Structure 1
Amino acid sequence: MSKIKVAVFGCGAIAQRRHIPEYANNANVELVAFADPVKERAEEMAAQYGGKAYTDYQELLKNEKLDAVSVCTPNYLHAPMSIAAANAGLHVLVEKPMATTTEEGEQMIEAARKNGVYLMVGHNQRLMPPHVKAKEILDSGKLGKVLTFRTSFGHGGPESWSLDGRDSWFFRKEEAIMGAMGDLGVHKSDFIRYLLNDEIAEVAGFIGTVHKEGTDVDDNATCIVRMKSGAVGTLMASWTHYRSGDNGTVLWCEKGVMKIGAVHGDEVNVELTDGTIETYKVGAMATNEKQVPSGVIDAFVESILTNTPPSISGEEGLRSLNVILGAFESQETGKIVKL
């Protein structure tokens, strides 16, 4: 069967560390083009992986014969680029947050629907082995109902991760629109929805810039959320977890507690009220330091090959984004926001 022809928009850190190498490792994919306003970056990727370099994604779309694209650009470009690609009849994998407003997200979903292509959002938290295992345990019912929880994602900030360091677009509000919440918080709103198989009904957000100098994007957020089921929890996103990051989730349930990545970062611990303790080590979480394969690229390619809509769809991405947007509204109005 012929290979899926893929182009990548944006050749920054997430493209270089996840998307591009993972496409290159997939036998069903041919990387044909790269676009980045920094010409050298696109050229470097083309030299390394084959294909052509562009500084303008619209020119790339006009000139190349493609099946799919990855959108790995600053947040404000996610919607226009995804819509342009869908209108060109291409499947789209977009980084999170999928968009910066609900309207943008809806337009992206509509463009994909109208053109008969898939739109997938890069919410890799769902695919991390400890998270998959945790869901399996929860779904088995052995812990009973989830009553309360906390889920958190924090690291020292994009300056250590982004290719541009402190000069990264992550710190420019007009390009990022949102900071730690768009970078990390939306991963956790997506994860908790997936894990609990439930929607967030209400959110209260305390969001601000606590420590990063010279930027007006948020570097910290603590949110209280109430699920439709009645379970209440906290969702935290931080760019100031210096020295020691956090990607942990703890669920207190009727029959015990489940700790995911909260002890050593890669295990699932189940402590039942009857005294039983179980520990599952099923594979590592992807972190900035440990680039284990995210699973996102393979899932996207599999969707295209088997003609199966992606489980992490545009609709799912939008529900997770709306939680974050609700939290910002709560911070602004001082009120609890119903979703």
Structure 2
Amino acid sequence: MAKLRIGVIGCGSIAQYRHLPEYSLNNEVELVAVCDIVEDRVKEVAEKYNAKAFTDYKELIQSGEVDAISVCTPNYLHAPISIEGLTNGLHVLCEKPMATSQEEADAMIEAANKSGKKLMIAHNQRFVRSHQLARQLIESGTIGKIYSFRTAFGHPGPEGWSIDGKESWFFEKEKAYIGAMGDLGVHKTDLLRYLLGEEIVEVGAFIETTAKEFADVDDTAVCALKTESGIIGTLAASWSYTAKEDNSTIIYGEKAIIRLEDNPTYSLVVQYTNGEVVNYELGKIQSNAEGGQNTTHVIDNFVASIVDNTEPLINGEEGMKSLAVILAAIKSNDTKTIAKVFE
């Protein structure tokens, strides 16, 4: 069978750390085209991966040279590029957050349904071994009834790893729409929905800019979340964790507490109410600093969904539901009220 021809649109850090190296390691695909508005950057990437360089995404999409694309651009371009790709019969893997509004997300899903092509959103937390095992423990009833949770995702900020440093689009409201909540918080809303197996229905949020005075987006958010069955917990997303990244989640259950990515040695620790403690050493959570050698499995899942004609693990609907929690958090902060996720 002929290899899938891939185009990567946007050649910034996420493409260079993740998409490009992970596609190049996948035997089912051929990386044939790359696109970026910065000509020097796209030429350099094209040369490295022996791909054709484009500076206009529409030209790449309409070239007839690719079967699928990765959308690795600033947030405000996620929807228009994804819709353009789907409408032109291409499969689309879109970085998170999938869009900047409910309307955009709906339009992306509609374009995927009409075209019959795959739309996947690049949420990688569902592929982390500790998270997958925790979901199994929760589903099997080992933990009993879930009472509460807390999750956090924070680091010193995108300027440390973004290709453009402090000049990065991450800090511009027009291009990013939302800061730490869109960059990190949406990962955790997706993870919580996956772990708990139910939807988040209400959000109370405080969203501020406390550390990045040069930014016109938020850098720190703390949210209280409530699920459909009434589980309540907290989510923190921040670019102000100056010394060390925190990517931990704790689930408080009737029979045990699950600690995820909270211990430097054990990525999953289960503390049972009878005093028993089970430690799982499952390898580190992926970090962008390690590049393609420590795969996120996102690319592989996307490629497999096309080759095997299966549903991607995080399709458009899943991406939309995780985004909806973030949109509700913004609404809560703006109105100083508890916001419903789906009204």
What is the distance in 2 between the residues matched to 1:47 and 1:5? 17
* 1:100-115 matched pairs, under 5 angstroms: 100-115=100-115
> Paired residue for 2:311?
309
Structure 1 stretches of 4+ with a deviation exceeding 6 A read none
Pairing 1:241–2:241 present = yes
- Report the number of matched residues: 339
* CA deviation after TM superposition for structure 1 residue 64, in Å: 3.6
Report the residue type matching 2:24 in the other structure.
A
Question: Contact 2:266–2:279 (CA<8 Å) still a contact in 1?
Answer: no
Shift of 1:265: 7.0
1:155 aligns with 2:155: yes
Tell me the TM-score normalized by structure 1: 0.98
Deviations 1:61-114 (A, max 9, x none): 222421100000000000000000001100000000000000000000000110
Of stretches 58-67 and 202-211 in structure 1, the one that deviates more from structure 2 is: 58-67
Matches within 5 A, 1:85-164: 85-164=85-164
Instruction: Please say if residues 155 and 246 of structure 1, whose CA atoms lie closer than 8 Å, have aligned partners that are also in contact.
Output: yes
Q: Deviations over 1:255-280 (max 9, x none)?
A: 12110011217510001011111011
Report the equivalent of 1:221: 221
Q: 2: CA distance between counterparts of 1:49 and 1:28?
A: 16
Q: Is the 8 A contact 2:204 2:224 kept in 1?
A: yes
Give the structure 1 partner of residue 207 of structure 2: 207
In structure 2, how many angstroms separate the alpha carbons of the residues matched to 1:39 and 1:137?
Answer: 49
RMSD: 1.0
Q: Identify the match of residue 321 of structure 1 among 320, 323, 340.
A: 323
Distance 1:310 1:59 in 2: 27
When residues 191 and 19 of structure 1 are mapped into structure 2, their CA distance, relative to the original with a 3 A threshold, is same
Q: Answer whether contact 1:130 1:284 (CA < 8 A) is retained.
A: no
For residue 335 of structure 2, what is the aligned residue in structure 1? 333
Deviations 1:209-240 (A, max 9, x none): 01101211000000000111111000110001
Does the aligned pair in 2 maintain the 1:265–1:285 contact within 8 Å?
no
The 8 Å contact of residues 130 and 266 in structure 1, kept in 2 or not, is answered as: no
Gapped runs of 5+ residues in structure 2?
A: none
SS of the residue corresponding to residue 6 of structure 1 reads strand
Cα contact 1:37–1:56 (8 A) shared by 2: yes
1:65 match = 65
Q: Distance in 2 between matches of 1:307 and 1:293?
A: 22
Deviates more, 1:180-189 or 1:140-149: 140-149
SS in 2 for 1:229: coil
Contact 1:133-1:282 within 8 A present in 2 as well: no
What does residue 185 of structure 1 align with? 185
- Secondary structure at the aligned position of 1:63 is classed as coil
Equivalents in 1 of 2:275, 2:50: separation in Å? 56
Aligned residue for 2:78?
78
Gap regions ≥5 residues in structure 1: none
Query: Which residue number corresponds to residue 262 of structure 1?
Result: 262
What secondary structure, in the 3-state scheme, does the structure 2 residue paired with 1:5 have? strand
Report the residue type matching 1:131 in the other structure. H
**Cα distance in 2 for residues equivalent to 1:197 and 1:70:** 28
Amino acid at match of 2:20: I
The one-character-per-residue Cα deviations of 1:293-334 (angstroms, maximum 9, x if unpaired) are: 100000000000000111200000000000000000000000
Taking the aligned partners of 1:265 and 1:150, their CA distance within structure 2 comes to: 20
Instruction: Name 1:30's counterpart in structure 2.
Output: 30
Q: Secondary structure at the match of 2:213?
A: coil
Measure, in 2, the Cα distance between the counterparts of 1:13 and 1:140. 39
CA distance in 2 between counterparts of 1:5 and 1:175 reads 29
- What secondary structure does 1:181 align onto? helix
Shift of 1:195: 0.5
2:102 and 2:246 map into 1 onto residues whose CA distance is 28
CA contact (8 A) 1:94 1:122 kept: yes
| CA distance in 2: counterparts of 1:325 and 1:265, whole angstroms | 35
Q: CA deviation at 1:253?
A: 0.4
1:289 equivalent in structure 2: 289
Q: CA deviation at 1:287?
A: 1.7
> How far apart in 2 are the matches of 1:62 and 1:338?
40
SS at match of 1:21: helix
- Partner of 1:59, secondary structure, is helix
Is this contact kept in 1: 2:225–2:233, CA < 8 A? yes
* Matches of 1:265 and 1:106, distance apart in 2: 41
